[in-house]
Amino acid sequence: MTAYDVSDVVPSAAHIEQTERYAARNYHPLPVVLASGDGAWVTDVEGRRYLDCLAGYSALNFGHRHPRLVRRAQEQIERLTLTSRAFYNDQLGPFSQALAELTGKDRVLPMNSGAEAVETAIKVSRKWGYLAKGVEPGRATILTMRGNFHGRTTTIVGFSDDELASADYGPFTPGFASVPYGDIEAVADALDDTVVAVLFEPVQGEGGVVLPPPGFLQELRALCTERGVLMVADEIQSGLARTGRTFACDHEDVAPDVYVLGKALGGGLYPVSAVAADDGVLGLVKPGTHGSTFGGNPLAAAIGHEVVGMLATGEFQERARVLGDRLANRLGALVGGGVQAVRVRGLWAGVDIDPELMTGREACEGLMRRGVLAKDTHGSTVRFAPPLVATESDVDLLAGALEDVIDVRVARRAGVTPGRPSPA
């Protein structure tokens, strides 16, 4: 990567002060101001480089400014960017066909943000329940899982059990019920005649890369089929090669009735999301019953089509698998020495640090000082999701930095100076 020009730059402190003054504080960012990115690495306004181990919550699976995606976006920007679906455009058809074939579904409905795709999946699930299953009008129920994270709209936070996300935003949309994640018996008990869909994450990302019990996805598939309920997989973070397979559901050879996709579908360049399902579900959506000004626009479709083409080679799925194995081995060695548990699926890891040692935020601040950017969640858990273009040395850097952060804190707690012999 070419050196970043730091001449005449506004210092980080000034950017942070300006942002804090004028931008609403909906996040609690680390005190780093990024100015450029290339592959798995980013550079701040003072020229310091960092390994990006958040990757835009998996939106940057292909890294920052992937040349193939940038080239395709530039080509389309010079031709046509927006029509709205009041008209046809020459990019939406090819993209829709490619994504339908990738998911094995008849149709796709492109949207923009992940939350918008989840809202779309909720709407089409209810419509299917009334028109196909015969649920009494106004009584459709969607079953969700505790610990979920599907977005930030009023409807979505209403069925979240994260009080920070939902506090002071009610009243909430009715029609949802919740069961413990991975508990197939609880799902079975909750499936009454009003339930039209089970909405779940194959891996709960925001929850700390929480994996379902082995066999749960297969059991859920069989149960949904038996009871006549849609199986709706939110693969917004877990899909598109992050876990070492194209979709996280592939790890148990399961095909849901509905895929909800986003984040990496836009290649880190543009917000692109979609719902994919067969004609029996998406065929019920008629003109005028749903829409989006930007959904399916030619720029989004061109980028999304290129992403699907990149996934078709299997290269990124294999990289996630191989690098993930390396990451699992390195992080697993830390368990018992300040780390309580590690969960890894592909190049995606959740690390539970001993809360008596430090918070997840403190760990991320320590990592930042060592040139690694990551994000904490739920107290003392840190998530790692480097771009899939990362190298083996990048993975080693990540693990080594975390080990150093923990060793320093353990040593301080024991009253030992790091790097020196312990007192007799």
Same domain, 283 and 305: yes
Catalytic residue check, 149: yes
DSSP secondary structure, 272-325, as one string = -EEEEE-HHHHTT--TTSS--SSTT-HHHHHHHHHHHHHHTTSHHHHHHHHHHH
State how far the Cα of 6 lies from the Cα of 155, in Å rounded to an integer.
Answer: 44
Do residue 206 and residue 73 come from a single domain? Answer: yes
- Our count of domains for the chain comes to 2
Mean predicted confidence (pLDDT) in 174-182: 98
Q: Which of 234, 257, 376, 394 is catalytic?
A: 234
Q: Are residues 74 and 61 in the same domain?
A: no
Task: Look up the domain containing 201 and give its range.
Answer: 67-311
Q: Does the pLDDT value for residue 424 go beyond 70?
A: no
Does residue 23 sit in the same domain as residue 167?
Answer: no
Judgement on whether residues 189 and 253 belong to the same structural domain of the protein: yes
Establish whether 263 is a catalytic residue: yes
Q: What pLDDT sits at residue 423? A: 35
The model's confidence at residue 7, banded by pLDDT at 50, 70 and 90, is: very low
Mean pLDDT, the chain, rounded, equals 95
Residues 205 and 300 in one domain: yes
> In this structure, what CATH number is given to the domain that contains residue 254?
3.40.640.10
Query: Residues 176, 263: one domain?
Result: yes
Same domain, 377 and 346: yes
Q: What is the CATH number of the domain that holds 340?
A: 3.90.1150.10
Last residue of a domain, one of 311, 326, 346: 311
Confidence of residue 418 (pLDDT cuts 50, 70, 90): low
Question: What are 252-311's pLDDT values in tens digits?
Answer: 999 999 999 999 999 999 999 999 999 999 999 999 999 999 999 999 999 999 999 999
Show which of 262, 289, 311 is a domain's final residue.
Answer: 311
Which residue out of 263, 316, 375, 394 is catalytically annotated? 263
Query: What are 353's strand-pairing partners?
Result: 339
Statement to judge: residues 140 and 268 lie in one domain: yes
Whether 307 and 391 map to the same domain: the answer is: no
Q: Is residue 261 part of a domain?
A: yes
**Does a structural domain hold residue 420?**
no
**Distance of alpha carbon 38 from alpha carbon 65, whole angstroms:** 6
Residue 5 falls inside a structural domain: no
Burial of 313 from C-beta contacts in 10 A (0-12 / 13-18 / 19+): exposed
What is the C-alpha to C-alpha distance for residues 303 and 274, in angstroms, rounded to an integer? Answer: 13
Last residue within a domain, chosen from 311, 337, 365: 311
The secondary structure of the chain in percent helix, strand, coil, rounded to multiples of 5, reads 40, 15, 45
Average pLDDT for 1-22: 78
pTM, 2 dp: 0.95
Look at residue 5 in the predicted model and tell me its pLDDT: 55
Q: What's the average model confidence in pLDDT over 27-45?
A: 97
Residue 240, token pair as written in the block: 């598109």
Catalytic pick among 52, 62, 127, 149: 149
Instruction: Examine residue 4 and state whether it is found in any structural domain, yes or no.
Output: no
Residues 35-51 have a mean pLDDT of 98
Is residue 1 domain-resident?
Answer: no
Give percent of the chain with pLDDT exceeding 70.
Answer: 96
Rounded to an integer, the average pLDDT of 112-127 is: 98
User: 286 an active-site residue?
Assistant: no
With a pLDDT cut of 90, the percent of the chain lying above it is 94
Q: For 139-285, where are the E strands, in sequence order? A: 141-145, 176-179, 195-200, 230-234, 258-261, 273-277
